[in-house]
Structure 1
């Protein structure tokens, strides 16, 4: 468990500012510090200042900073699912779920890598998995296939979203695009004949691969479902 909110030993005493601490309040304060201008400013000491509480009070709710980060990641999954209702077309609903995950990752880029590689084991991740696997079961996939396809699908979405959310230094993305444009315009066609044959299309490789890969994933799942 990432929090100890159900323990009767947690005493909800007011902070110096008169606010009664609870896990949701701590998560929101930590998220503000992570997304503060100038870079991630989250430390337990700064979190105590933000909450107007002794920093050690955080440990009454989260065993350590890592547990707090996992709880934040699970909270962001709830943002992904807010208002989402699967429709009659399982594949269209799965696509929307993937797009929602991608959009949420881009809104919170400093947590994208964490969300891509860690399991939260929290209620929102469980709900997301339940929805995704449920869509695949509805499509007719046997249980084992539904689990495997869902894992492949969501891992691909998370990986692509983490790539798109990666924070580059100011001007770095533009510099990279300009360097690629110069390379594509000047390479030796005799040495790279296949690249030369598609030279005019090469600039598109700098665009996000997410839409195209999502199309391919949904298409492959539809085709597989039709074969069942």
Structure 2
């Protein structure tokens, strides 16, 4: 795509596409997201996207300057899909845990798109809303601003990192995923105690735990550390 883009007020396509639909930014993003999950990163081309929409590829320039601009919109839409179903309760720890798990689940629902977009900073509406919301949860819980930012940073990076890691695993062919899972039983569970005493002692736990994502446990550790920090802050304030 080029650097030419039409302002939002002038983007509406007056005539339906060949498939009888009226183009919009939302429709283009949803279609691109579907194509990425079906075909991978190579699906994100103007020609293939135009074909899927039944529209002239040049009409996409009315909405996005280039494919990277579209990729940022896709990343922002993934954030939005999480925010639209998340409902805070006022319990900061429970709310962040629920939000983190929903972010992780959202990545696994769109693994190929998550791998492509999780490291991007979009500067778009949903990302801004997420930053404002998470900082608000932390500041209202009583964290000073510097602590709120550090915990926000760790919380978001942890969620995105695990989302990318687990999405990459999910995107593997089924046979490859099953082969990797089998390694824990076929290799690690058979290592002798004489040469690998710690692996041998924990083998049954490794076989049970390693095929699963460690994100819930890591998230709980992060939130426990944050809670301990908040308790320390309150103790100092009362002293």
Instruction: Give the TM-score, by structure 1 length.
Output: 0.90
Tell whether the 8 Å contact from 1:3 to 1:71 is kept in structure 2 after alignment.
Answer: no
Q: 1:209 aligned to 2:214?
A: yes
Q: CA deviation at 1:210?
A: 0.9
Distance change (3 Å), C-alpha of 1:54 and 1:105 = same
Q: CA deviation at 1:64?
A: 0.5
Q: 1:21 aligned to 2:23?
A: yes
Tell whether the 8 Å contact from 2:37 to 2:113 is kept in structure 1 after alignment.
Answer: no
- Structure 2 matches for 1:61-72, cutoff 5 A? 61-72=63-74
Name the residue aligned to 2:146.
144
RMSD: 2.1
SS at structure 2 position matched to 1:198: helix
Q: Distance in 2 between matches of 1:34 and 1:80?
A: 19
Deviation string, structure 1 residues 114-156 (Cα, Å, up to 9, x no partner): 3321111110011111111111101211112111110111100
Name the residue aligned to 2:204.
200
Q: Distance in 2 between matches of 1:163 and 1:105?
A: 10
Name the residue aligned to 1:55.
57
Tell whether the 8 Å contact from 2:4 to 2:65 is kept in structure 1 after alignment.
Answer: yes
Tell whether the 8 Å contact from 2:114 to 2:163 is kept in structure 1 after alignment.
Answer: yes
Q: Distance in 2 between matches of 1:28 and 1:155?
A: 25
Q: 1:181 aligned to 2:185?
A: yes
Q: 1:226 aligned to 2:227?
A: no
Q: Distance in 2 between matches of 1:85 and 1:16?
A: 37
Q: Distance in 2 between matches of 1:168 and 1:9?
A: 42
Q: Distance in 2 between matches of 1:3 and 1:152?
A: 37
Q: CA deviation at 1:39?
A: 4.5
Tell whether the 8 Å contact from 1:3 to 1:67 is kept in structure 2 after alignment.
Answer: no
Name the residue aligned to 2:128.
126
Query: Quick check: which one's helix share is greater?
Result: 2
Distance change (3 Å), C-alpha of 1:30 and 1:199 = closer
Q: Distance in 1 between matches of 2:78 and 2:22?
A: 23
Q: CA deviation at 1:218?
A: 1.2
Distance change (3 Å), C-alpha of 1:3 and 1:155 = farther
Name the residue aligned to 1:191.
195
Structure 2: unaligned runs, 5 residues or longer: 234-239
Name the residue aligned to 1:171.
175
Deviation string, structure 1 residues 16-68 (Cα, Å, up to 9, x no partner): 435432211211221222223x5553321111112222101111210101110
Deviation string, structure 1 residues 191-216 (Cα, Å, up to 9, x no partner): 22222222322212222111111111
SS at structure 1 position matched to 2:118: helix
Name the residue aligned to 2:86.
84
Question: Which residue of the other structure, out of 151, 159, 162, is the alignment partner of 1:160?
Answer: 162
Structure 1: unaligned runs, 5 residues or longer: none
Tell whether the 8 Å contact from 2:184 to 2:206 is kept in structure 1 after alignment.
Answer: no
Name the residue aligned to 1:107.
109
